[in-house]
Structures are given as structure tokens and as C-alpha cells.
Amino acid sequence: MAVISVVLGSIAVVAFTIWYYIHVPLSLPKNIPRIPIYVSLLGLWSSMGQDEIYEKWLREPLERYGAVKIWFAGQWSILVTKPEYLTDMFRNEDVYAKAGSQVKIPWSVISSLVGDNIINSHGENWHLYTSIMKPGMQKRTWDAGVMVDDTRHFIRLCLQQQKDLSMQDGVMVNPLIQRWAIQIMGRNFLDTDLQCLSFPDVRLETLQSIIKRTLFKPLYFNFPHLDKYSAILRSRARAYAIMKEFGDRLFALSRALPRHHPVDKKQAEDLQVVDLLNVALDKGQINEEQFRANIKITFLTAHENAQQLLNSIFWELGRSESIPMQQKLRDEVLNTGVDRPSTELLNSMPYLTSVLYEMLRLYPPVSQLINRVTITDTILGGNIRIPKRTWVGWNAYGAHVDPNSWPSPYTFKPERWGETVEQMQSKFRRDCVAGRYIPFNAHSRKCLGQGFALLEMKVVLFELVKSVTWTVDKTYKLKLTPGGILAPLGCKVVFKEVARRHDESVQHQ
């Protein structure tokens, strides 16, 4: 009898604990639907991509209500896609305050990686980090020249790998793209040639693949409380060790650089983020922990989004239906008659611009983020009552495929952006401000690297279509990432060198 009581008692305790952990708090708004918790846990047993999950469980309620309650990283949160709600959230950072994993789950592996940094901080710290780092992220003009050289090196590596395979088999592009993206980030933000394209095993680069695999393991991503048990879970102990190795290596590299002390704002703009952070640490404006967090987030954010967007470009423009678009882009590029594109030229090309904007619409790398917390009771968009201390976030993919904002939303259609670069830029700005198009977020916390990222992607598109044609390997079936950064997984493409035009080859002789 006593044994039965103990067993029943234990079952009751376990059941209560699970209920307590996953029940929906009564204070959350009643006038929006709840997405069943198993949808957030699909990664544990299914291999569905973000697009499939969105289509099956999120699209209908989000299009109807504009917001839903969803379980995310161990919390019930509110996820928003309706443009009016998004702009309310983005405009009112003093109500919907940025709060990343360092606030939500401070003990976790991800928090040990990112710390309190320019993207996830709020208030005084954010102002401090921005005042130091912004000149290194938002230059009046970025130089396309160095990016061209690295991009050509990357294309040579793609062609080399193709040569080593038969012409039917595609090259697995992601590993090469990662090396390209980190190389370009290093030159422009770390003031360092990391030599990632010359060597396949630069440790700071290879660590990234391990970090990405580690962070998005569905079990630990959904139940971050497990990170507390690294003493018994070897996989967690390894995860912390990997994050530490990355942090220590990057810190040592950054601090070994020579110092440049800017005397005014103009000089600060000629410096890179690492230089600005070094001076701030030397002067005691920030402490070592803040230095580490900000240099790591710069490393991560300045390569990962570009990396995944380029994966999406290879997929979207390499599909057989898209070959005419790839050719149209090639025609625009070859018609310039230019071998080395300048920043001005790249910014004046309409089709190139529209392809890039449309890529960011259908494949926004940062497709979903829930990293804000309400600091007072509030009413989102005058309609959804949200209590203080509720986690709130957005889904860019959802906003970008909402038929109320985008006719035929699932069709890749660069023409929807207009005919001239001016028309396109003005639509881009209007849609960002109105919350219909948020690949870089909007309002006070929008991406500081937007100008750099757009130029980098224009360089790679220009150079690719000029030198190669590519088609997706016939055996490849599209599978988007199940969570985290949005991109096709394991895409393989077949490259062919573009034959040089006669007039061009004469010019180059």
C-alpha cells in the first residue's frame, strides 16, 4: 500500500511539474488563438521546414488575428505578423523592450555565447554600445573592391570543386559560402584577413559549424532549463566549452591588434568595429565582458545572415523555372561592360536591386525573433491586452507572405518592386516603416549593418552571374531549416563557367 502511495504521489508531482512548466498563464490575452505546444516541439521528431510548419499551423490564425500565443524557448510568448501591430511594437521600444537570452535564460548555453550586446540590450547599455560601434557599422560609403577580390576567390573554389566532381553532381555550397561570409566579415569588422578562403580549417570558422549545430538542437532549444545540468549532461558541458573556446580565441585575436585612436567622429568612421571596441575597453568605457559580448555578436551577425541569404539565392535562382531570371540578371550585369563593379554602379542597377529585395522578402534570414519583453501592461495596436513581463516577438516570413500586403505572395517576382532603383528604394522604405517588409526590422532598433549587407549581396550576385551559371542538382529536394535562421539545408548546385563575350575577351588580352 505504502509503495503504491509513493508511486502515485511521484506521478502526481511529475504531472504537476510538467503542467506548471507548460501551462498557458491566464493573464495572457484571450482574443488571440494559442498554437498547440507540440508545434513548437516538432523539431524533436519531425524534419519539417519552417515554411511547412508556418503553412500548416501558423498561417491561418496569423492572417486572421495578426498575433498568436506560442511556446518559444521555454516560455509562452506572443508572436505578431500584422503590420499595424508590428509598427506599434517597433515604435515603442520603451514598452516592448529588447531582452535577449541574457535576460530570459541567463544560465543557458546561448546566453554564454551572446551575453549582453548591441542587438539584445536595452536602455543605457544599448546607448553605450551604439555610441561606440555605430561608426564602424554605418559608413557613408563601403568599398566594394575588397569584397570583389574575396568573392572571386570564392567563385574559383566553387569551380574547383565542380571540376573535382562530374558535371552531373552538384557542389555542396554551404561550407564554401560560410568561408566566404566569414572572410568578408573579418576584413570589414575585425580589421583582419582571417584567410578562410585560402585554408579550409581556420579554427574560428570551423567552430561556427559546431556552434550552429549545438545551438539549434531541438531538445535543448525548447527546454533551455536542461542547460543547468551540464554536470550530468555531457553534451551541455561540451556546448559550454565550445562557446568558451570561440570567445577566448576571438578575444585574443582582437586584443592583439594594433590600436588606432580616433580624434573625432569622422576619424571614427574610418575605423572598424574591433578598433572602436578596443579603444573603448582601453579607456574603461566598457568592461571585458561587454567587449567580449559585442565582438562575438559582430562576428556572428555580420556573417551568418549573409551566408544564409546566399544559400537561398543559389536555391531560388538555380531552380529550372528561375533560369530565365538568372539570365536576365546576367544580361544586366554584362551590359554594364564593367569588370570590377564600384559601389555606385552596383547601387544603380535596377534588376539586381529588385532580385535582392525579393530574395529578402521570400527568404528573410532572420525569419522569427522573440526577444522583447513588455515592461508595463499595454494594449498592442489598441486591441490586444498584454500584461507586464510578457515575451513578444515577430515573424518576418509571415509578414512577407501575407496576401493583404503582397499579392501572389509565394511567387518570386522581382518586378513587384517597380522599374527604377528610385521606385524600388522608396517602396522598400515605405514597406519597412509600415511593417509589411521587415528583413532588417524597422524603426529605432533596425539593423545597423543593412547598408553593408545590401552591398555585399550585390557584389556576390554581380560576380556570380558574370562568371558562372548554376543549376540546382537534380537530386536535391528543398528542405528549409526547421528553426533559427531561414535557409535551404544542404543545397547542391552544378556550376558552369560563363563563356566570355568576344568583345570582353579582346579587352582583357
Binding-site members for heme are: 447
300 binds ligand HEM (CB under 6 A): no
Least separation in angstroms between CB 7 and ligand HEM: 47
Count of residues binding ligand HEM (CB under 6 A)?
24
Q: Regarding beta strands 75-80 and 67-72, do their DSSP bridges make them parallel or antiparallel, or are they unpaired?
A: antiparallel
119 binds ligand HEM (CB under 6 A): yes
Using the contact rule CB under 6 A, the part of the chain among 27-35, 228-236, 302-310, 471-479 near ligand HEM is 302-310
Could you give the CA distance from residue 396 to residue 416 in angstroms, rounded to a whole number? 18
Least separation in angstroms between CB 208 and ligand HEM: 15
118 binds ligand HEM (CB under 6 A): yes
Task: Give the C-alpha distances (Å, rounded to integers) separating 95 from 88, 113, 375, 414.
Answer: 10, 26, 5, 36
Task: Name which of 118 and 176 has its Cβ closer to ligand HEM.
Answer: 118
Near ligand HEM by CB under 6 A: residue from 441, 467, 471, 481: 441
Near ligand HEM by CB under 6 A: residue from 452, 462, 470, 495: 452
Torsion angle, alpha carbons of 297, 298, 303, 304, to 10 = 20
Single-letter residue type at 100? G
Window 120 to 139, contacts with ligand HEM (CB under 6 A): 130, 137
451 binds ligand HEM (CB under 6 A): no
Cα-Cα-Cα-Cα dihedral sign, residues 157, 163, 168, 169 = negative
Least separation in angstroms between CB 452 and ligand HEM: 5
276 binds ligand HEM (CB under 6 A): no
| Residue 218 dihedral angles phi and psi, to the nearest 5° | -55, -40
301 binds ligand HEM (CB under 6 A): yes
Using the contact rule CB under 6 A, the part of the chain among 1-9, 70-78, 261-269, 433-441 near ligand HEM is 433-441
Could you give the CA distance from residue 443 to residue 91 in angstroms, rounded to a whole number? 6
Could you give the CA distance from residue 93 to residue 99 in angstroms, rounded to a whole number? 11
Name the nearest CA neighbour of 32 among 53, 57, 62. Answer: 62
Single-letter residue type at 506? V
Query: By the 8 A CB rule, do 369 and 394 touch?
Result: yes
302 binds ligand HEM (CB under 6 A): yes
> What strands lie across the sheet with 468-472, from one edge to the other?
171-172, 492-497, 468-472
Query: By the 8 A CB rule, do 181 and 307 touch?
Result: yes
157 binds ligand HEM (CB under 6 A): no
290 binds ligand HEM (CB under 6 A): no
DSSP state of 27: T
Q: Which residue has the cell 574603461?
A: 284
Binding site feature residues: 447
Least separation in angstroms between CB 328 and ligand HEM: 22
Least separation in angstroms between CB 148 and ligand HEM: 17
Could you give the CA distance from residue 487 to residue 224 in angstroms, rounded to a whole number? 24
Could you give the CA distance from residue 297 to residue 120 in angstroms, rounded to a whole number? 10
Could you give the CA distance from residue 159 to residue 100 in angstroms, rounded to a whole number? 41
436 binds ligand HEM (CB under 6 A): no
481 binds ligand HEM (CB under 6 A): no
369 binds ligand HEM (CB under 6 A): yes
Task: Name which of 68 and 453 has its Cβ closer to ligand HEM.
Answer: 453
Could you give the CA distance from residue 160 to residue 31 in angstroms, rounded to a whole number? 57
In DSSP terms, which residues pair with 386 in a beta bridge?
Answer: 378
447 binds ligand HEM (CB under 6 A): yes
95 binds ligand HEM (CB under 6 A): no
Least separation in angstroms between CB 67 and ligand HEM: 17
Near ligand HEM by CB under 6 A: residue from 29, 365, 414, 483: 365
Could you give the CA distance from residue 458 to residue 329 in angstroms, rounded to a whole number? 11
182 binds ligand HEM (CB under 6 A): no
> Within 13 Å, how many C-alpha atoms sit on residue 128's CB side?
18
Could you give the CA distance from residue 414 to residue 428 in angstroms, rounded to a whole number? 12
Least separation in angstroms between CB 106 and ligand HEM: 17
Near ligand HEM by CB under 6 A: residue from 448, 459, 460, 468: 448
305 binds ligand HEM (CB under 6 A): yes
Using the contact rule CB under 6 A, the part of the chain among 157-165, 299-307, 411-419, 473-481 near ligand HEM is 299-307
Least separation in angstroms between CB 19 and ligand HEM: 32
The site for ligand HEM (CB under 6 A) is made up of 118-119, 130, 137, 189, 298, 301-302, 305-306, 309, 365-366, 369, 371, 439-441, 445, 447-449, 452-453
